Amino acid sequence: MSTESPSSSAGAPAERDLLTLEELTERAATSVRNVRFYTSKGLLPPAIRRGRSAYYTADHLARLEMIRELQVHGFTLAAIEKYLARLPEDATPQDIALHRTLLAPWMPELPETVTRDELERRAGRALSEEDVDTLEAFGIVGRTDDGYQVATSHLSVGVSILELGMPLEAALVSHEIFQKYGRALAVELTENFRTRAWPAYKAAYTEGGVPPERLQEIIERLKPVTVQALVAAFEAAVDEQKRQTIAKRAQ
């Protein structure tokens, strides 16, 4: 990407749209060190130079936000580099934002580090060491040197299992089943969206039929709709399994 002054190219951003390094880091909630590091790795295009001053654009901001989103998902630096390399060379900041929107609705809640007292307060009950062991086995709680890392949105599910008194072995097997088939569902549903839904949404956006805000709203609503559909399908499957079991016993 060119590092020419904005006045030297007809397609360059207007001066009012340029950001200083301080403004960029503030908007992106990152550090100067990170910006320079990502630039050195080719994850960000070089700054626009005007004399001794460096300026940044909406493209730099969009890419920084994408990098942060991918990091939240556990992508390594090498994986982030490959992901960004697959973006079209002429991708606009709006295009990048749409790609980021595909990740955001499914972004897992970042774990929080809390004390034992805070963990029990959020759980709404006292927790024995065995209870914490069980929650740790479910991947909901993790012990650290500073306390406990907890996935708050999942804590209520873990506590409900504890209160039901389900044997630990049965609970762990259930967890393994959820993980196994959850991954399989994720792979197939993601592929279905990638090959069938996204191209249609993208075409509508490119042709101007769907504004970016509306497209982002549609994508953000996919998570609850998908979860509801999965729950409905599971309930129907359980009911069918019950009927088959009763029919076999009646024979």
| Residue-range definition of the domain harbouring residue 85 | 6-106
Residues 132, 41 share a domain: no
> Is position 31 within any domain?
yes
> Is position 21 within any domain?
yes
Residues 16, 84 share a domain: yes
> Is position 71 within any domain?
yes
| Whole-structure pTM value | 0.61
In angstroms, rounded to a whole number, what is the distance separating the alpha carbons of residues 12 and 58?
Answer: 12
Mean pLDDT for the chain?
Answer: 85
Average pLDDT (146-160) is 89
- Residue 79 CB neighbours (<10 A): 13
CB 41 within 8 A of CB 78: no
Task: Give the end of a domain, one of 122, 147, 165.
Answer: 165
Q: Determine what percent of the chain is predicted with pLDDT higher than 70.
A: 90
> Is position 190 within any domain?
yes
pLDDT at 240 exceeding the cut of 70: yes
How many structural domains compose the chain?
Answer: 3
pLDDT at 106 exceeding the cut of 80: no
Terminal C-alpha separation, the chain: 74
Higher pLDDT, 100 or 230: 230
Paired sense of beta strands 112-114 and 147-150, if any: antiparallel
